Amino acid sequence: MKKIIIAIFVSVLTIGTSIADEGMWLPMLLKNNYAQMQKMGLKLTPDQLYDLNHSSLKDAIVWFNGGCTSEIISEQGLLLTNHHCGYEAIAKHSTTADNILDNGFWAKSFAEEKENPGMWASVLVRMEDVSDKVNQALAGVDTKDIGAKKAEIFKSIEKEAKNDTHYEASVKSFFKDNAYYLFVFEKFTDIRLVAAPPQNIGKFGGDTDNWMWPRHTADFSMFRIYANKDNVPAAYSKDNVPYKPKRFLNISIKGIKEGDFTMVYGFPGRTNRYENSFGIKLATDKVSPAIVALRDVRLTEWKNEMNKSDSVRLLLSSNYARVANYWKYFIGQTEQLKRLKVYEEKLDIEKQFKEWAKNKPEYASILPNFEKAYTDYDKYALHSTYIREGLMGSALITRAMKFMSIEKALSAEKPDPEQIKKAVDALKIEGEEFYKSFNPISEEKILAKITQMYFENIAVDQQPPYMAVLIKKYKGKTNKETFEKFAKAAFVNSVMASKEESLKFLEKPNLKKLRNDPAFAYAKACYTNYIERILPHIEEFAKINNTEGSIYINALLEMQPDKNFYPDANSTIRLTYGSVKGYAPKDGVDFKYYTTLEGVMEKENPKEFEFQVPSKLKELYAKKDFGKYADTNGEMRVGFISNNDITGGNSGSPVINGDGELVGLAFDGNWEAMSGDIYFDSKYKRTISCDIRYVLFLIDKFGGASNLIKEMNIKN
């Protein structure tokens, strides 16, 4: 069965009736889409898109730090990505004395570029279909041993692929274990910050405009890959030199117009387009609203403190931006899934499937099995969410959980001094970074609120026995008062609540003191309760859901042989294609496909941080000093939209025209199609991108970094 589905997948890609804008395609298989892409405006050959033995566009596409995409835009390893992808690095380099987050940063020489420990960028060397190897290894293996055997064969294939080179390799599953591909990367870890606009340009519109069109954000930042003198990845060293890539993207300032062909090449994170009706109902009714409510607690308390001082704002800005992004996303996803009646559409598909499968014993039990699995899982689904978004949303509790390593070392029958030292050293190193952005005032309020929410929304019989002890000890007149008293005691008495007390404890770690620590006791109780009593139910659900999901996708392909199926995103390299296109979101509203700098000035509000405009940008606008980056009407284009299929992870992806030239930088999706990770809506789905001419204008005219302009190959 597994081998058959791979053949079906490849043949399906050749169907000429496919929807051009939907689908995240594996570049190795793009030759099957080529005729359609050519009709839409592609002028490159298939080998220019992806080639194993020669340089191609794929060599300029970079997996950036695990959560974003970037592209190489010069022969000296210059990277372009989103401002929000570089936000954490920019914020870490910012102080009240040298506030590059607010003021911007433009390196005028290699020597000025800033090191970023922990950051990485990977370039794909090759990919390979290894489905046969995996399936042969799994043939006849007992179900309970499949996971371990799969990990074993993956490791074997990856080891063989690396073959004593400096490469990294990874095997990924597609179509829920119906196909497997190997990806080999060259991973670079010396990545230096080169440029970033002030955040009131790079993050213009903030949370208000996030996921919205029309958009006026210059969401870009620039980094550089460094390698050793042999052009091979190496740890940071002053002796390292700019990387010489196999390929970099040329840049076009000719501009784009409605209907123009566009490709987005990148590393989309996760989609779940083959989700069943049970999963959609659970997400919209329970899980997503809980995520929104729990994240709202953090955002509210952080914002209150950020508004009080610039120093606190700089400390918390990176965490705030990270949490806020998907807080708003889950609001929009729930709203759009309901508006588009996706649950009802899935029910209709399943009704058809049930009729089709009734005489096929290998498929007839899939939907009943799904229904039973979700019914059993429903009572535990919120608990998992409250651990991940609630308990782990408290910085103090997250830090306390780290101390379980030293508890284990101290409580051993014969404590090993080496193991204790290892745990202590790790906690000290983690603490150095942790306490830099730890704000006790907001975190105390966060702990009180999420603990109260956990108590009130999780079934009593699922809560740890310690909760009753906590309530008895800190009993107040109301739940709110009870948990405020607990949080206050935790921050007064816990050794994790300050760097100084933490270090003091680690100098002479004591098991009894640790176990009596209020933050540690609560963290361990919740964690142990979850691992022992809740996780087994979740794992059982996941096993059934994955097994049935794999068979279900196989069955759908068999049931609908003429439908255009493509694999869900899984952080592997993909190419999507479509065209520049406006849309009408509702009656009487018609959005054109681009925005201009005039819109920035219209939105300006000096009293609102999100909509402040730097004086220099206003001066350039007043003088219409746009240089060669203006369009034919003399306007400064800012953003544009296309109907390319993207998701999280595509942030920073290049938007490429039919000639293979960079014309924009993808950074967002639109509100009306927030269902995109689960359901692609061909009518409303749009990719929001920054026009490359606006990026270049800001580098050149605003930042004065002519050195960077000269480094790129800009084509008129």
Q: Determine phi and psi for 590, rounding to 5 degrees.
A: -135, 110
CA distance 451 to 40: 54
Q: How many CA atoms lie within 13 A of 249 on its CB side?
A: 32
From 173, 651, 675, 689, active-site residue: 651
From 219, 568, 631, 668, active-site residue: 219
Let me know if 84 is a catalytic residue. Answer: yes
Indicate the angle between helix axes 518-529 and 479-493, nearest 10 degrees.
120
For 456, other C-beta atoms within 10 Å of its C-beta total 9
Let me know if 682 is a catalytic residue. Answer: no
Q: Which helix (H) or strand (E) holds 182?
A: strand 179-188
Let me know if 651 is a catalytic residue. Answer: yes
Which residues are CB-contacts of 413 (< 8 A; sequence separation ≥ 6)?
none
Q: Which two tokens stand for residue 161?
A: 């692929």
From 74, 83, 84, 317, active-site residue: 84
CA distance 328 to 674: 10
CA distances from 5 to 142, 258, 366, 637 (A): 22, 38, 18, 45
End-to-end CA distance of the chain: 52
CA distances from 320 to 89, 99, 325, 399, 418 (A): 14, 17, 9, 18, 38
Task: Annotate 506-554 with DSSP letters as a single string.
Answer: HHS--HHHHHH-HHHHHHHHHHHHIIIIIHHHHHHHHHHHHHHHHHHHH
Residues listed for the chain: 716
Q: How many CA atoms lie within 13 A of 64 on its CB side?
A: 37
Q: How many CA atoms lie within 13 A of 584 on its CB side?
A: 5
Buried b or exposed e, range 425-448, using 16+ CB within 10 angstroms: eebeeebeebbebbbeebbbbbbb
User: Closest Cα partner for 702 from 222, 71, 217, 198?
Assistant: 198
Question: What residues are labeled active site?
Answer: 84, 219, 651
